């Protein structure tokens, strides 16, 4: 590869058993097992890691500087080179990838966590909106996604039957995913906010994930089949929903272009689409046809720990490559109302001769 | 392939005030960003990516406000990253932006940090109850005062040192038009007579609570060559973190701070910081942290930092000026305070610091810390490009 200064790969991934509530666990207690799992899988110790980066949100945790507690779980002694983004962990992975590209580190530990159970996540997410004009109206996250879904239906890009099928396929696939919160035959359920039914919405839950990155030969030493990051980019759109075409995701398309996603077809895509309608938007923006396997993990419709769900898409795509079940996969993460901000990574495994 | 050299080609700050009721959050960040663009003679279209930082979202009551600020910062269609590493965040944000250029992912990056503390009460914003912990603290002063007392006991420093730092920084701020506090009638006696808040920290020895933003335009070598004004070159940068509380933690001189400085000096090939660094902008939210950080950063031997302060070495006309801008003691928009330190260091080596310029400053250190003295971010900037 000549696109970037160094070859960097995801070499290990771990996630929690995502669940509706985890009252008995602090964030630190939730994060520690996944940190230990990725380290154990590679034989690395905390002291071997060149850079650590995490993603989380104070608003979910309900306290300022909530990430400082999670740092205790990392075991930051002797002191470590470390950073944190107030974003989904996918962007923490991005920051760590850039750090490795500079040559300042050869390995990086990335983790993310979120507990939605202590509050009303629909209301909490409304605090992301323009504080002067939109947030005072408390439009919740399902209502905003419903606006997007209705726009898609009105434009003739989908219908309620297709949306229901996306939900059913995701939960059926999730039956093979031991970490999923919602799997198997899940009824479509009542209408929540028209046109979205219960089954079109993600489960609310708590969870964490961790990923290890390594460069070049270090990755080959530590992982039998590293998931090489062939490209990664992220883009943001305007915040005001009224100035966006909600049926399209130009930021996803641009990020995918910059990541080289359109240079060759991918066999699999892990899309961070918490609502069934958002999968429709993303498929259109990414030109994914029926030959591409979408969300074999069940996606965010089967487990959606906010702040970690995007990182989990990258981890799930990488895990498929580790297991030899994919050769070239696209992973996507989103943030903000109605897919405002999007990240796309293209991962590849070395071909076996 | 070696890292791309990183240059600071534009700097902008708001006028920091207790309450900037004349601007929205978007208006505040644009004021700094537009000044940085004007300084670099660039437009929004020249910017490849935006890296923004601030301290807890509770201070303004907006969750992940970068989503809402994307339009105001010209980020639509571009990558936007949001960093949050507690009080060190302004420094960390600049370092994340610098990495994007060093890694050759982008060539021109806008980095910005802000806080609009008048939207809430920062002291209580920092005093949220933590499950399973005793509610012992009210604000940052309550946390740091015992560590200052430990420093005094350990070093035998006379109790007059703190007031000297505050008196110096508040006078320096009179030369900085962006500083929040301009106390024209300040005297040492007024500092010494101000009310005791958290023993030994008096009112005049604490940072104010400010609204403000700071922005920088970072560029690669080609961008620096096109820049209309001299660039500041990044010679070294590092972040280090350690846990909040653990047996054996040295709150007076945390190892993460020492390790961070050592990493920066190694990159910048500094072997004697006291002689080779011309000016320091360090994060001193409470007066006594100047002598404490002088030791932690290797400018003085352990127990000797207060002697530099006492003998006037850190004054504007001393041989190691510390915080010629007036420092955090004169303006503290928390999330921006670290970036202001980094930017002021860059202004010094660019020769653009105006009335608080240190003549002939060639190498300057910008320093930020946060959390329970556990997160550190620093950079060393120079007037000449790095040699490798």
B116 touching A (Cβ < 8 Å): no
Q: How far is B364 from chain A (nearest CA, A)?
A: 22
Determine the residue of chain B that is closest to A100 in CA distance: B103
Q: Are residues A141 and A55 in the same domain?
A: no
**Is the pLDDT assigned to residue B210 strictly greater than 60?**
yes
Q: Are residues A39 and A183 in the same domain?
A: no
CB contacts of A99 in chain B (<8 Å) are: 99, 103
Give the range among A122-136, B119-133, B196-210, B234-248 with minimum mean pLDDT. Answer: B119-133
Helix (H/G/I), strand (E/B), else coil: A247: coil
Predicted pLDDT at B75: 98
Say if residues B329 and B83 touch (Cβ distance below 8 Å). no
Say if residues A193 and A146 touch (Cβ distance below 8 Å). yes
Burial grade of A224 (CB within 10 A; 0-12, 13-18, 19 or more): exposed
CB contacts of B64 in chain A (<8 Å) are: 57, 59, 86-87, 128, 335-336
Q: Are residues A191 and A316 in the same domain?
A: yes
Say if residues A60 and A115 touch (Cβ distance below 8 Å). yes
Q: Give the list of residues 6+ apart from residue B11 with CB closer than 8 angstroms, or none.
A: B35, B36, B39, B214, B215, B216, B217, B343, B346, B347, B350, B352
**Is the pLDDT assigned to residue A53 strictly greater than 90?**
yes
Predicted pLDDT at B266: 98
C-alpha distances in angstroms, A79 versus B46, B151, B255?
Answer: 37, 21, 7
Beta bridge partners of B10: B217
Cβ distance of A85 and B82 shorter than 8 Å: yes
Q: How far apart are CA A118 and CA A137, in angstroms?
A: 22
Q: How far apart are CA A129 and CA B59, in angstroms?
A: 16
- Count how many domains chain A has: 2
Predicted pLDDT at B91: 98
Instruction: Give the model confidence (pLDDT) of B69-106 as tens digits.
Output: 999 999 999 999 999 999 999 999 999 999 999 999 99
A293 touching B (Cβ < 8 Å): no
Predicted pLDDT at A74: 86
B259 touching A (Cβ < 8 Å): yes
Nearest in space to A296 (alpha carbons), one of A263, A319, A327, A264: A319
Predicted pLDDT at B121: 81
The alpha carbon dihedral of B89, B95, B100, B101 has a sign of: positive
Q: Are residues A59 and A143 in the same domain?
A: no
Q: Are residues A325 and A198 in the same domain?
A: yes
Host H or E run for residue B334: helix B334-350
C-alpha distances in angstroms, A184 versus A21, A173, A180, A200, B210?
Answer: 20, 8, 10, 15, 53
Determine the residue of chain A that is closest to B96 in CA distance: A95
**What CATH number is associated with residue A344?**
3.40.47.10
CB contacts of B76 in chain A (<8 Å) are: 236-238
**Is the pLDDT assigned to residue B129 strictly greater than 70?**
no
Cβ distance of A81 and B240 shorter than 8 Å: yes
For chain B positions 144-203, those within 8 Å of chain A (CB to CB) are none
Cβ distance of B104 and A67 shorter than 8 Å: no
Which carries the bigger pLDDT value, residue A35 or residue B129?
A: A35
A-interface mutation test, from B53, B64, B126, most A Cβ less than 10 A away:
B64
Host H or E run for residue A166: helix A160-173
Instruction: Give the model confidence (pLDDT) of A298-334 as tens digits.
Output: 999 999 999 999 999 999 999 999 999 999 999 999 9
Cβ distance of A87 and B85 shorter than 8 Å: no
Indicate the residue among A157, A187, A222 that finishes a domain: A222
C-alpha distances in angstroms, A224 versus A79, A107, A238, A314, A322?
Answer: 30, 16, 42, 18, 7
A140 touching B (Cβ < 8 Å): no
Predicted pLDDT at B131: 56
Predicted pLDDT at A288: 97
Q: Are residues A148 and A292 in the same domain?
A: yes
Establish, for the pair of chains A and B, how many residue pairs have beta carbons separated by less than 8 Å.
Answer: 185
Residue carrying the six token digits 């209309």: B228
CB contacts of A129 in chain B (<8 Å) are: 68
Indicate the residue among A222, A256, A290 that finishes a domain: A222
**What residues make up the domain containing A335?**
121-202+228-348
**Is the pLDDT assigned to residue A1 strictly greater than 50?**
no
**Is the pLDDT assigned to residue B388 strictly greater than 80?**
no
The region that residue B14 occupies, defined by phi over 0 for left and psi between -120 and 50 for alpha, beta otherwise, is beta
Confidence of residue B246 (pLDDT cuts 50, 70, 90): confident
| Residue A3 covered by a domain | no
Q: How far is A217 from chain B (nearest CA, A)?
A: 16
C-alpha distances in angstroms, A31 versus A40, A67, A74, A93, A234?
Answer: 14, 11, 9, 16, 26
**Is the pLDDT assigned to residue B124 strictly greater than 80?**
no
In order of their start, the domains of chain B are 7-120+209-226 (3.40.47.10)
Q: How far is B4 from chain A (nearest CA, A)?
A: 8
Instruction: Give the model confidence (pLDDT) of B17-72 as tens digits.
Output: 999 999 999 999 999 999 999 999 999 999 999 999 999 999 999 999 999 999 99
For chain A positions 77-106, those within 8 Å of chain B (CB to CB) are 77-87, 91, 94-95, 98-99, 101-104
CB contacts of B266 in chain A (<8 Å) are: none
Q: How far apart are CA A14 and CA A208, in angstroms?
A: 9
Q: Are residues A267 and A170 in the same domain?
A: yes
Instruction: Give the model confidence (pLDDT) of B216-226 as tens digits.
Output: 999 999 999 99
Q: Are residues A111 and A248 in the same domain?
A: no
CB contacts of B374 in chain A (<8 Å) are: 68, 71
Q: Are residues A235 and A284 in the same domain?
A: yes
Q: How far apart are CA B182 and CA B355, in angstroms?
A: 14
**First vs last C-alpha separation in chain A:** 19
Predicted pLDDT at A157: 98
Which carries the bigger pLDDT value, residue A64 or residue A318?
A: A318
Nearest in space to A197 (alpha carbons), one of A144, A279, A138, A275: A275
- Residue B246: other Cβ atoms inside 10 A: 12
| Residue A152 covered by a domain | yes
| Residue A353 covered by a domain | no
A30 touching B (Cβ < 8 Å): no
Average pLDDT over residues B315-327: 98
Predicted pLDDT at A353: 43
Predicted pLDDT at B1: 56
Predicted pLDDT at B138: 64
Confidence of residue A44 (pLDDT cuts 50, 70, 90): very high
For chain A, what is the mean pLDDT? 96
Determine the residue of chain B that is closest to A79 in CA distance: B242
Instruction: Give the model confidence (pLDDT) of A256-308 as tens digits.
Output: 999 999 999 999 999 999 999 999 999 999 999 999 999 999 999 999 999 99
Q: Give the list of residues 6+ apart from residue A49 with CB closer than 8 angstroms, or none.
A: A80, A107, A108, A109, A212
Say if residues A89 and A334 touch (Cβ distance below 8 Å). no
Indicate the residue among A222, A256, A281 that finishes a domain: A222
Predicted pLDDT at B120: 87
For chain B, what is the mean pLDDT? 95
Q: Are residues A110 and A215 in the same domain?
A: yes
Average pLDDT over residues A137-161: 97
B-interface mutation test, from A29, A62, A102, A215, most B Cβ less than 10 A away:
A102
Q: Which residues of B181-215 are buried (b: 16+ CB within 10 A; e: fewer)?
A: bebeebeeeebbeeeebbebbbebbbbbbbbbbbb
Q: Are residues A25 and A156 in the same domain?
A: no
Instruction: Give the model confidence (pLDDT) of B280-289 as tens digits.
Output: 999 999 999 9
């Amino acid at each position: 590869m000549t696109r970037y200064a160094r070859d960097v790969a995801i070499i290990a991934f771990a996630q929690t058993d995502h669940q509706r509530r985890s009252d008995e666990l602090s964030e630190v207690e939730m994060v520690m097992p996944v940190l230990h799992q990725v380290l154990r899988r590679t034989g690395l110790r905390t002291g071997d890691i060149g850079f650590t980066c995490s993603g989380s949100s104070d608003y979910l945790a309900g306290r300022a500087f909530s990430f400082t507690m999670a740092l205790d779980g990392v075991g930051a002694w002797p002191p470590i080179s470390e950073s944190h983004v107030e974003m989904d962990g996918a962007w923490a992975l991005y920051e760590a990838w850039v750090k490795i590209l500079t040559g300042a580190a050869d390995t990086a530990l990335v983790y993310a966590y979120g507990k939605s159970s202590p509050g009303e996540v629909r209301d909490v997410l409304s605090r992301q909106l323009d504080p002067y004009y939109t947030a005072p109206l408390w439009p919740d996250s399902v209502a905003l996604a419903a606006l997007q879904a209705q726009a898609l239906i009105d434009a003739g890009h989908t219908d309620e039957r297709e949306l229901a099928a996306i939900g059913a396929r995701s939960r059926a696939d999730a039956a093979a995913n031991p970490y999923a919160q919602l799997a198997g035959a899940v009824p479509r359920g009542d209408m929540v906010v028209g046109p979205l039914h219960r089954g079109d919405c993600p489960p609310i839950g708590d969870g964490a994930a961790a990923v290890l990155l390594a460069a070049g030969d270090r990755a080959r030493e530590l992982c039998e089949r590293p998931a090489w990051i062939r490209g990664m980019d992220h883009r943001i759109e305007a915040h005001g929903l009224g100035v966006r075409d909600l049926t399209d995701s130009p930021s996803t398309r641009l990020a995918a272009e910059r990541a080289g996603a359109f240079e060759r077809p991918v066999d699999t895509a892990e899309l961070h689409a918490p609502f069934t309608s958002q999968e429709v938007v993303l498929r259109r923006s990414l030109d994914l046809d029926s030959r591409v396997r979408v969300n074999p993990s069940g996606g965010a419709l089967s487990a959606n720990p906010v702040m970690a769900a995007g990182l989990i898409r990258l981890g799930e795509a990488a895990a498929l490559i580790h297991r030899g079940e994919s050769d070239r996969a696209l992973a996507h993460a989103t943030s903000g109302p109605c897919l405002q901000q999007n990240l796309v990574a293209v991962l590849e495994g070395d071909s076996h001769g | 392939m070696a890292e791309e050299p990183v240059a600071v080609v534009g700097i902008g700050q708001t006028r920091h005030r207790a309450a900037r009721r004349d601007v929205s959050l978007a208006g505040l960040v644009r004021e700094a960003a537009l000044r940085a663009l004007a300084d670099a003679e660039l437009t929004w279209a020249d910017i490849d990516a935006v890296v923004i930082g601030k301290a807890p979202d509770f201070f303004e009551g907006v969750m992940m406000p970068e989503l809402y600020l994307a339009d105001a910062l010209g980020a639509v269609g571009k990558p936007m990253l949001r960093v949050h590493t507690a009080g060190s965040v302004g420094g960390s944000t600049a370092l994340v932006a610098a990495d994007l250029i060093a890694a050759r992912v982008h060539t021109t990056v806008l980095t910005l940090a802000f806080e609009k503390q008048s939207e809430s009460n920062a002291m209580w914003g920092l005093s949220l109850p933590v499950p399973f912990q005793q509610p012992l603290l009210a604000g940052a002063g309550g946390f740091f005062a015992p560590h200052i007392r430990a420093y005094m006991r350990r070093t035998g420093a006379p109790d007059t040192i703190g007031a000297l730092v505050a008196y110096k920084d508040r006078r320096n701020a009179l030369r900085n038009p962006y500083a929040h506090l301009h106390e024209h009638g300040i005297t040492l006696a007024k500092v010494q007579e101000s009310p005791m808040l958290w023993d030994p920290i008096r009112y005049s020895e604490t940072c104010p609570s400010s609204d403000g933003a700071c922005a920088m335009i970072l560029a690669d070598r080609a961008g620096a060559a096109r820049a209309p004004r001299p660039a500041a070159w990044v010679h070294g940068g590092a972040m280090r973190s350690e846990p909040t509380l653990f047996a054996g933690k040295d709150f007076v001189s945390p190892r993460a701070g020492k390790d961070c400085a050592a990493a920066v000096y190694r990159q910048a090939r500094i072997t004697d910081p006291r002689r080779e660094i011309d000016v320091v902008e360090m994060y001193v939210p409470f007066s006594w942290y100047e002598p404490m950080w002088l030791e932690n950063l290797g400018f003085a031997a352990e127990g000797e930092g207060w002697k530099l302060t006492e003998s006037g070495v850190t004054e504007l006309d001393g041989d190691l000026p510390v915080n010629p801008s007036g420092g955090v003691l004169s303006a503290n928009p928390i999330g921006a305070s670290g970036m202001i330190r980094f930017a002021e260091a860059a202004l010094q080596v660019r020769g653009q610091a105006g009335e608080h310029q240190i003549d002939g400053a060639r190498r300057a250190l910008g320093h930020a810390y946060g959390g329970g003295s556990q997160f550190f971010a620093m950079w060393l900037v120079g007037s000449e490009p790095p040699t490798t």
